[in-house]
Amino acid sequence: MQRIETEDHIALGLAELCCLDPRLLAVRQKAGEVRLRLSEPGFASLASILVSQQVSRASADAIFARLTALLNPLTPQAVLNADETVFRQAGLSRPKQRSLLATAQAVMDGLDLDGLCVPDAAFAHRQLTEISGIGTWTADCYLLFCAGHPDIFPARDVALQSAVGHAFSIEPRPDEKALLKIAEAWRPWRGVAARLFWAYYREWKGREAAPPA
């Protein structure tokens, strides 16, 4: 299965998804632009996703902007050398400080974040979640938006849960387990399905909820 690297890949995935699940035709019509949302792999991109854990997209963008202004360039060594004051000024919580430091140390110890674009997603996912503070959602988002893995679906994402629930009239919204079951029908294009439902959420709610990319 090819990596999701171009707008043409998104278009192909959307066409395939609508064939796999005709319910998605209506979702596609309401979603507007479904963006590629692909970032360069590496430490700064993973740090951006870490910052966005459990906060709104607007808050995440503001915190990350302050962090990158204080640590420019944002490198593992710069993070490890930084005083705690820097993290407080950026607005990072203590748990996120620890996660960012653990990630920086893992990269300094040899973790190749660029290289995680090459192996299968399951192996890459295990490598990421071995880092303290990186859970399933963070690993999923990195592999989706930075590595371009095509069949990643971050079912823990509340916006995705809400969007699928609204689109399919499911009350209450599906939890992680239920959403993964629904998403089985979208293999091997679940990465495009996630982008589709984030776009649907944006048009439904009038605000961006997809993680930074």
Q: What is the CA radius of gyration of the chain?
A: 17
pLDDT of residue 198: 97
| Torsion angle of C-alpha atoms 40, 44, 46, 48, degrees rounded to 10 | -110
* pLDDT band, very low/low/confident/very high, at 1 (cuts 50, 70, 90): low
Residue 84 CB contacts under 8 Å (≥ 6 apart), including other chains: 97
Q: Could you tell me the two tokens for 95?
A: 């748990």
Length of the chain: 213
Which range is least confidently modeled, 29-43, 70-84, 108-122?
108-122
Q: Which helix (H) or strand (E) holds 99?
A: helix 94-108
Report whether 133 contacts 174 (CB < 8 A).
Answer: no
Peptide bond into 172 cis (omega under 30): yes
Name the CATH superfamily housing domain 43-145. Hypothetical protein; domain 2 (1.10.340.30)
Averaged pLDDT of the chain: 95
Predicted TM-score (pTM) of this structure: 0.92
Which has the closest alpha carbon to 24: 187, 203, 168? 168
Question: Where residue 106 falls among pLDDT bands split at 50, 70, 90?
Answer: very high
- Chain centroid to CA 78: 24
Domain ranges of the chain: 7-37+152-205, 43-145
Residue-wise pLDDT for 119-174, tens only, equals 688 899 999 999 999 999 999 999 999 999 999 999 999 999 999 999 999 999 99
DSSP letter at 55 equals S
CA 56 to chain centre: 13
CATH number, domain 7-37+152-205: 1.10.1670.40
